[in-house]
Amino acid sequence: MIAIPDSEPRKHKRAILRLTPQTLIELCKVDGSYTLSANGMPEDAKCVGIHVDATRDLFMMAVESDSFEEIEEGRLLPEISIQFTKHYSAAKP
């Protein structure tokens, strides 16, 4: 008889970002007079999944980054919090 080793659960470095519909609308209003930065979002972050929670009126994005804690597949992902900041260009003469 051959023993088959138990496989370890897969792990990912992911977190959840929750955005309100109003935040998404504000992000779409960028008109070129300013730029936005997302404070708290790692430089290497990439979206690996999205979900709309109509009950809570939220847009949820699964984000992956090497800087996140490793989480076993199937576990609840931790939430990250970011703050958008507007950076206005200097006024032209």
Strand order, beta sheet including 14-19: 46-53, 58-64, 14-19, 79-80
Q: Note the pLDDT of residue 6.
A: 66
Q: Note the pLDDT of residue 93.
A: 47
pLDDT digits (tens, 9 = 90+) for 65-81: 999 999 998 899 999 99
Where along the chain do its domains lie? 11-68+77-86
Beta-carbon neighbour count of residue 28 at 10 Å?
7
- What one-character-per-residue DSSP string does 35-85 give? EEEEET--TT-EEEEEEEETTTTEEEEEEE-TTSPPEETTSPPPEE--EEE
pLDDT digits (tens, 9 = 90+) for 5-62: 667 788 999 999 999 999 888 888 777 787 888 899 999 999 999 999 999 999 999 9
Confidence (pTM): 0.74
Q: Note the pLDDT of residue 2.
A: 61
